[in-house]
Amino acid sequence: MPTYQLKVNGKETTVEASEDSPVLWVLRDHLDLVGTKFGCGIAQCGACTIHLDGSAVRSCSLTMASVEGKSITTIEGLSEDGSHPVQEAWKEVDVPQCGYCQAGQIMTASAFLEQNPNPSSEEIKTAMHGNICRCASYTRIHKAVAKAAENMG
């Protein structure tokens, strides 16, 4: 199996994986970063969202071959201690139910607010539309994104 060099949560990392392996499974099974979740495997649910060079991407549909030399941030690396404004807002609003989708929601929201620090309610809805929450904690996700924007501003 080929070897890949990439930066994961700020650390230079070398990992052996098959070239068609989705980054998701390499993170979870090989690098022990299980915060990134598996939901659908076909880029439909957003549970596996990570940042690739700062943009939110679906790690289930991103092959190892395409990330060589790039920089990845996962939920574990979003902040040292859970103090990223989006994480703080999530705690303040008490968003999660089962919690399974929330890492993906937070990664989508944090990349979005980086691009658009002052979103309208409609823009938040559009940005978060790709992330499914089966428990339907949507109203709180919306509220927490707005709150994070406020706190960051």
Tell which one of 56, 101, 113, 148 touches ligand FES (CB under 6 A): 101
Tell which one of 70, 100, 123, 152 touches ligand FES (CB under 6 A): 100
Interacting span for ligand FES (CB under 6 A) from 38-46, 65-73, 74-82, 119-127: 38-46
Q: C-beta of 59: minimal distance to ligand FES in Å?
A: 6
Q: Are 54 and 41 in contact (CB under 8 A)?
A: no
Q: Which does 129 bind (CB under 5 to 8 A by kind): ligand FES, other proteins, none?
A: other proteins
Q: Tell me the backbone φ, ψ of residue 14, rounded to 5 degrees.
A: -115, 130
Nearer to ligand FES, 50 or 118 (CB): 50
Helix, strand, coil distribution of the chain in percent, nearest 5: 40, 15, 40
Q: Which does 58 bind (CB under 5 to 8 A by kind): other proteins, ligand FES, none?
A: ligand FES
| CA–CA dist 21, 78 (Å, integer) | 23
**51: its two tokens:** 């940042």
Residue with tokens 């880029």: 43
| CA–CA dist 9, 136 (Å, integer) | 29
Residues that bind ligand FES (CB under 6 A): 38-41, 43-48, 58, 60, 96-102, 133-135, 137
